[in-house]
A and B are shown apart, each in its own frame.
Chain A
Amino acid sequence: MNRFELLNPIYTNKVIKVIKENYRVTTVEIDHKLDALPGQFLMVWIPGVGEKPMSIGNNNPLTISVANVGPVSEKIWELKEGEVISYRGPFGNPFSIPKDAKKILCVGGGYGVVPMYFLSKAAKENNIQSTVIIGGRSEKDIVWEKQLFSVCEKVFVTTDDGSKGAKGNVMIELEPIAREYDAIYACGPERMMKAVAELCKKNEVHCQVSAERYMKCGVGVCGSCAIDGKLTCVDGPIFSGAEILKLGEFGKKKREASGRSVDL
Chain B
Amino acid sequence: MQSELFGKKLKNPIILASGILGMTRPTLETVCENGCGAVIAKSLTIEPRKGHGGPNIVETESGILNAMGYPNPGIEEGLAEFGGWKREEALILSIVGKDANEFAELAKRIEEKKDQLGATAIEAVISCPHTPGYGTMIGQGTPESVSEITKAIKENTSYPVIIKLSPSVPGEVKAALAAQDAGADAINMGNSLGPGMKIDIHRKKPILGFGMGGLSGPPIKPIAIRCVYDIYGAVKIPIIGTGGINSGVDAIEMMMAGAKWVSVGTAVYYRGQKVFADIEREIKVWMDLNGYSKLEEIIGVAHEQI
Contact = CB atoms under 8 A, between A and B. Distances in A.
Interface of A: 4, 6-10, 12, 43, 45, 47-52, 84, 86, 216-217, 219-224, 226, 228-231, 234, 255-261
A72 to B, nearest CB: 8
Contacts of A222: 19-21, 23, 56-57, 66, 68
Given A50-B55, A221-B268, 12 more contacts: A4-B61, A6-B60, A49-B53, A50-B209, A86-B200, A216-B54, A216-B56, A216-B71, A229-B29, A231-B27, A256-B50, A258-B74
Given A12-B202, A229-B30, A259-B42, A220 B268 contact: yes
Interface in B21-49: 21-24, 26-27, 29-30, 33, 42, 48-49
A220 B27 CA distance: 11
Contacts of A224: 23, 71
A45 B56 contact: no
Query: Which 5 pairs from chain A and chain B are nearest by CB?
Result: A51-B54, A229-B26, A229-B30, A223-B23, A12-B202
A219 B78 CA distance: 24
Given A221-B268, A223-B21, A6 B27 contact: no
Contacts of A45: 54-55, 207
Interface residues of B, number: 48
Nearest to B273: A220
A51 B58 CA distance: 11
Contacts of B200: 10, 12, 47, 86
Interface in B182-218: 200, 202-203, 205, 207, 209
B59 A255 contact: no
Nearest to A258: B48
6 contacts: A12-B200, A50-B54, A50-B209, A229-B27, A259-B71, A260-B48
Contacts of A230: 30
Contacts of A219: 57, 269
Contacts of B53: 49-50
Nearest to A6: B59
Contacts of B72: 258-259
A12 B203 contact: yes
B27 A258 contact: no
Contact of A4 (B19, B62, B77, B81): B62
A221 to B, nearest CB: 5
Contacts of B202: 12, 84, 86
B147 interface: no
A260 B60 CA distance: 30
B209 A51 contact: yes
Contacts of B7: none
A255 B24 contact: yes
A261 B82 CA distance: 12
A137 B42 CA distance: 39
A221 B265 CA distance: 8
Contacts of B77: 260
Nearest to B53: A50
B244 interface: no
Nearest to B201: A12
Contacts of A217: 56-57, 66
Centre residue among B23, B81, B269 by max chain A CB count within 10 A: B23
B121 to A, nearest CB: 21
A217 B54 CA distance: 8
